[in-house]
Structure 1
Amino acid sequence: MAVQTELNIAEILHESGAVRFRYARILASDGARWIRHGLFVEYGQDGTVVSEGHYLNDKENGPWRDYHLNGKLASEGRYLEGREVGIWRFWNAEGVAEESTNYGS
């Protein structure tokens, strides 16, 4: 689908002007739209990382982490072509492990 190899970095802002999303993207082969491809990071209003992972041809792919507002890890798992796979682990805001979910392969 994607043919352009040069990455472009996109930033989408909160109303305050702070960066909300920053991600790598490439132009689709038809030249009509951008495709998320590479590192993706979501930020809170205060600049802390809320979520981070990677995209491959506009689908989540590889390790992914979400964080509580206090910066502690909330969840961690893997995506494969936009689907959650394997074991996903979850923690509460104090950092105590909660349930895990196995999404299989």
Structure 2
Amino acid sequence: MEDLNIAEILSESGRVRFRYARYLSADGTEWIRHGRFEAYHVTGTLSSEGTFVHGVEQGEWRDYHPNGQLAAQGIYENGEAVGDWQFHDQNGVVLDDGETPS
């Protein structure tokens, strides 16, 4: 694996929309996400956070409403949502606590 590079993809307004670690594939044809990943709402608040391992989601992920309240959290294993996920409304009230999203 090559050295990690931090990518920041900007929105039309010039704010950071995505920030993530990545490395260039061995053949040099594509960037592969590896490490921390963050996505942001157009307002600049955090929208989603988690980790990629060699291009696939792995471990705990969290999504947030534009007001900063937790919207969802759960676990990914090898890019697949597994186990129980929890969902919240914009006021932080739990909406669903159960099976992985389909």
Q: Structure 1 residue 63 and structure 2 residue 87: aligned?
A: no
Moved over 2 A (4+): none
**1: CA distance between counterparts of 2:83 and 2:27?**
34
User: What RMSD, in angstroms, separates the aligned Cα atoms of the two structures?
Assistant: 0.9
Q: Which residue in the other structure is 2:71 paired with?
A: 74
**1: CA distance between counterparts of 2:99 and 2:43?**
33
TM-score normalized by structure 1? 0.91
**1: CA distance between counterparts of 2:41 and 2:95?**
23
Q: CA deviation at 1:52?
A: 0.4
- What 5-or-longer segments of structure 1 have no aligned partner? none
- What 5-or-longer segments of structure 2 have no aligned partner? none
Query: How many corresponding residue pairs?
Result: 100
**2: CA distance between counterparts of 1:77 and 1:27?**
28
One-letter code of the match for 1:19? Answer: V
**2: CA distance between counterparts of 1:26 and 1:100?**
35
One-letter code of the match for 1:17? Answer: G
